Each structure stands twice: as structure tokens, then as C-alpha cells.
């Protein structure tokens, strides 16, 4: 019974994974019914302008089941939605009051290496980091989160994440919903594992590191089963799988169809309609949904292990808002490549026994540059997830600084989800994905890694130098 219909991905891997998951995770639904207080969907405040201030701080998140100790940006949990435009010059002031070191990485952003916020740009406890750079990128829904070597998973799990929108002249000219918090909503979806006191504490065991630290509740924008009151009309949702290591399948309770218009790095060449969406950790998709009738519809998150959670409710009133046509196509320029001339590289993502997470046989070493490449060059990379029979586990592959074009998934043309700009792709056991990447403008050290954060923190990462 394959739970997820993933075109082109290998189904054998899914079956193998389900079998190993079946053992350990049946207890997951423990705390689900305790909800009594429910609120409206929290909308992260916008952070805009030339000078952007972020404070990394500790806090508390109150859920109906209990109160957890958390971390956030400018608040208790998660962070503001940063919104900038292509061409803007931005100056950040990022103060770390966590009492421990961390970093802030701009996931999906084309950015000078020294401001990338990876493991080399540590923000020491009590200090302030001041990256400043020009936004030079097309409209996209990106995000930001810590990236400290060995601590990324814990910091993200505790709540350190926020959305990072780029707009441009083209996106602003489109006839689509773009009023933030009115008809254009961020949805940061995250599962969290509550203990018997209703708190989430990051403490993965060895098998959690392998299989993923999978939760027993699902939060959206840091809230448990919130509701959103809307009028009849067309709504745009910018969805982030903000989990550490859970693949999600999203759908509506009433099986309604929606239109996918953008992936990680911006608009798709052609939009498409679907009733469900599979998302790996760190992937983003933008969707348009028409609510035509008064009533209620729920967003459902099915985690890869089969556990299914109502995530939020949409309460549609009788009043009429604005309907928008769903654009069929958008401008998108894929990475131009030449299979004869471009340098080719292969990345084999492999899990060896418990805790051995390697790429091309190596575990992450901050003192080792895995390879160098030339600025203003295009490369073709093949990423392979090495299956190990029953031990096969999924991975994802994320490259810093670039939005790449997927050329093939297991030898076939990619499906619609992978037809546009991407910075993160999902690899089921045995999968082989070929991508074209263009490196330009900046030199320095960037990272590539599995975005299952427990895998990343266990060594499934490498670094390259753009010269």
C-alpha cells in the first residue's frame, strides 16, 4: 500500500521504509485529542525595509497540551516573514541572545559566501552579526534558519525558522493574491513530538536520527489546529515543510483540488492542478485554492510513516471576496546546460549502519573542501541515494547559493513539481536525480547536504569552493 504516489520515484524504497517504520512509530498518536483551546492561524509579522533587525531569543510556546521551552526570532517561536524585492540592498542586525552559538542561513538565496550563514559564519553567544548584501534574484518563497555544525536540527526544532519572500516587478504585476495575511498566507508546517507533559524537547535516539525525528502533533505557524476565517474567494498559500526530517503529503479533507504555481525558487513554467502535495523537509510550494461555498474545509498532513493529522481549518463565510483566475503559465528560464562541455559530478548519499551518514564516502569535515569550481560556470550533478534493501531511507539534497534545474529523475523527465526552480530535492532509496546548476557572481565556500536535519548533523554534508 504505497501511501504516497510519487511519480518517477522508486516505490520499492517506499515499501522498504514503511516496513522499518511500522515497528517503532505506532505510538505516535498519543496526545492528539487533548486540544481544548483553539485559536486563529497566527500570521508572522512582516519584516521589511533597508535595515532589518532580528533577535535570536529563547521563549515559550503554549499549546493546549502544555508549554514547551522554545527559541525564536523576535519572539517565542518561529520568526517574522522577511519581505524584500529584487535589487534591494539590505542590512541585517542579528543579535544572538540564545546563550549559545548559532548561525542564520538564508535558504535558497543567491548570496555572497561570507553572508550565507552556514557553519563558517558562527554568531557567537551574545554577539551581533551584520550581513549586508544586494538581493539579486527573482521572486521566490525562501526561508531562513540556523545552520550551526552539529546543532542545526536542535535549533530548528526549537523554533528557529522564518519565511523570506523575494518579490520582483514580474511577481507584483501578476493577477494573483498578494495581500499578506489577507489572501496570501504563509503556512509553516512542522510536526513535533510531545512528551507526557505536553512539551516538545529535542532528544532523538539513534533510530530517530536514522528514520527521522517524527512527531505526534502537527503545528502550522506554531499553532495546533488553528482556524482561518475567510470569505469566498481565491487564496494563495506559501507552504514550507519546516520539519526536521518528515516527508509530508498535504491534502484537504474534502479532497478539493488546488493549483500549484511555484516551487522553491519561484514560479513554475506551467501551473498544474492536484489534490495532494508531497513535500520533503525544506521544500516550498505555493498554491492557489478557490473556496466557493460557505462551510468548513480542513488541511490534512499525512506524515510519511502513515500518521495523519488535521492541521488547520478554513472557515468560509457567506460573504464574497475576490476570485482570481489561476494562471496557466509563468516566465521561467531554466539553467542553460551543455552535456558535452559542462563539468559533471556525482554525489552518492549513503547510510552505513547506525549513524554513518556520508556523501561520496565522506562525513562532513569543516577543514576539508570537497571540490572547487569556477565562478561563471555551469555544472551537471548527479545525486544518487544509495539504497540498502531494508535499510533504505530517504534523503534530500540541498545546495546553497543557487536555484537549479532538475533534468531527470530516474532517467525520466521530472514531473510538474520538479519542473521549475529548485534548491532542494527528495531522493527515495535508489533514486537518481540529475540537476544543472549555474554558479555566478560570488566566490567562496558553500555547502551541499541532506536536509533531513538529523542526517545533516550526523555528517551528511560537504562543501565546495567557488573560485
- List residues binding Cu ion (CB under 5 A): 395, 450, 452, 455
In the bound state with Cu ion, the residue whose beta carbon lies nearer, of 267 and 452, is: 452
* Minimum CB–partner distance for residue 456 and Cu ion (Å): 7
* Minimum CB–partner distance for residue 205 and Cu ion (Å): 17
* Minimum CB–partner distance for residue 455 and Cu ion (Å): 3
* Minimum CB–partner distance for residue 269 and Cu ion (Å): 28
* Minimum CB–partner distance for residue 14 and Cu ion (Å): 15
* Minimum CB–partner distance for residue 176 and Cu ion (Å): 34
* Minimum CB–partner distance for residue 196 and Cu ion (Å): 30
In the bound state with Cu ion, the residue whose beta carbon lies nearer, of 54 and 425, is: 425
In the bound state with Cu ion, the residue whose beta carbon lies nearer, of 94 and 450, is: 450
In the bound state with Cu ion, the residue whose beta carbon lies nearer, of 286 and 457, is: 457
In the bound state with Cu ion, the residue whose beta carbon lies nearer, of 313 and 431, is: 431
In the bound state with Cu ion, the residue whose beta carbon lies nearer, of 326 and 398, is: 398
Q: Output the 3-class SS for the chain.
A: CCCCCCCCCCHHHHHHHHHHHHHHCHHHHCCHHHCCCCCECCCCCEECCCEEEEEEEEEEEEECCEEEEEEEECCCCECCEEEEECCCEEEEEEEECCCCCECCEEECCCCCHHHCCCCCCCECCCCEECCEEECCCCCEEEEEECCCCCCHHHHHHCCCCEEEEEECHHHHHCCCCCCECCCEEEEEEEEECECCCCCECCCCCHHHHHHCCCCCEEEECCEECCEEEEEEEEEEEEEEECCCCCCEEEEECCCCCEEEEEECCEEEEEEEEECEEEECCCCEEEEEEEECCCEEEEEEEEECCCCEEEEEEEEEEEEECCCCCCCCECCCCCCCCCCCCCEEEEEEEEEECCCEEEECCECCCCCCCCEEECCCEEEEEEEEECCCHHHCCCEEEEECCCCEEEEEECCECCCHHHCCCECEEEECCCCEEEEEEEECCCCEEEEEECCCHHHHHCCCEEEEEEC
* Minimum CB–partner distance for residue 138 and Cu ion (Å): 28
In the bound state with Cu ion, the residue whose beta carbon lies nearer, of 406 and 450, is: 450
In the bound state with Cu ion, the residue whose beta carbon lies nearer, of 144 and 452, is: 452
Amino acid at each position: 500500500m504505497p501511501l504516497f504516489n510519487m511519480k518517477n520515484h522508486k516505490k520499492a524504497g517506499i515499501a522498504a521504509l514503511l516496513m522499518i517504520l511500522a515497528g517503532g512509530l505506532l505510538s505516535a498518536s498519543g496526545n492528539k485529542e487533548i486540544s481544548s483551546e483553539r485559536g486563529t492561524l497566527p500570521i508572522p509579522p512582516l519584516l521589511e525595509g533597508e535595515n532589518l533587525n532580528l533577535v535570536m531569543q529563547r521563549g515559550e510556546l503554549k499549546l493546549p497540551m502544555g508549554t514547551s521551552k522554545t527559541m525564536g526570532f523576535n519572539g517565542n517561536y518561529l520568526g517574522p516573514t522577511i519581505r524584500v524585492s529584487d535589487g534591494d540592498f539590505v542590512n541585517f542586525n542579528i543579535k544572538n541572545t540564545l546563550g549559545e552559538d548559532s548561525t542564520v542561513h538564508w535558504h535558497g538565496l543567491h548570496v555572497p559566501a561570507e553572508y550565507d550563514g552556514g557553519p563558517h559564519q558562527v554568531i557567537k553567544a551574545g554577539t551581533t552579526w551584520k550581513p549586508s548584501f544586494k538581493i539579486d534574484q527573482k521572486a521566490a518563497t525562501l526561508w531562513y534558519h540556523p545552520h550551526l555544525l552539529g546543532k542545526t536540527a536542535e535549533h530548528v526544532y526549537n523554533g528557529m525558522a522564518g519565511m523570506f519572500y523575494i518579490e520582483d516587478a514580474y511577481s507584483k504585476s501578476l493577477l494573483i493574491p498578494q495581500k499578506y495575511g489577507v489572501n496570501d498566507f504563509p503556512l509553516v508546517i512542522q510536526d513535533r513530538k510531545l512528551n507526557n507533559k505536553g512539551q516538545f524537547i529535542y532528544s532523538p535516539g539513534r533510530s530517530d536520527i536514522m528514520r527521522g525525528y517524527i512527531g505526534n502533533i502537527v503545528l502550522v505557524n506554531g499553532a495546533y489546529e488553528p482556524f482561518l476565517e475567510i470569505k469566498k474567494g481565491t487564496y494563495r498559500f506559501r507552504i514550507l515543510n519546516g520539519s526536521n526530517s518528515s516527508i509530508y503529503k498535504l491534502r484537504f479533507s474534502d479532497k478539493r483540488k488546488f493549483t500549484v504555481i511555484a516551487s522553491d525558487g519561484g514560479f513554475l513554467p506551467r501551473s498544474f492542478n492536484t489534490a495532494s502535495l508531497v513535500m520533503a523537509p525544506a521544500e516550498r510550494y505555493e498554491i492557489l485554492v478557490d473556496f466557493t461555498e460557505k462551510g468548513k474545509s480542513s488541511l490534512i498532513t499525512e506524515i510519511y510513516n502513515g500518521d495523519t493529522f488535521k492541521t488547520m481549518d478554513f472557515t468560509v463565510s457567506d460573504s464574497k471576496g475576490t476570485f482570481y483566475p489561476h494562471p496557466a503559465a509563468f516566465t521561467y528560464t531554466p539553467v542553460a546546460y551543455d552535456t558535452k562541455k559542462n563539468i559533471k559530478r556525482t554525489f552518492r548519499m549513503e547510510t552505513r549502519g547506525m549513524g554513518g551518514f556520508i556523501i561520496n564516502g565522506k562525513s562532513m569535515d569543516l577543514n576539508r573542501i570537497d571540490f572547487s569550481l569556477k565562478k561563471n560556470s555551469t555544472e551537471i550533478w548527479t545525486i544518487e541515494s544509495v539504497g540498502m534493501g531494508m535499510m533504505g531511507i530517504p534523503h534530500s539534497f540541498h545546495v546553497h547559493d543557487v536555484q537549479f534545474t532538475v533534468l531527470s529523475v530516474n532517467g525520466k523527465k521530472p514531473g510538474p513539481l520538479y519542473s521549475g526552480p529548485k534548491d532542494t530535492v527528495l531522493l527515495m532509496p535508489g533514486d537518481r536525480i540529475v540537476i544543472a546548476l549555474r554558479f555566478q557572481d560570488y566566490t567562496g565556500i558553500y555547502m551541499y547536504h541532506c536536509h533531513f536535519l538529523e542526517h545533516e548533523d550526523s555528517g551528511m554534508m560537504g562543501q565546495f569552493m567557488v573560485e
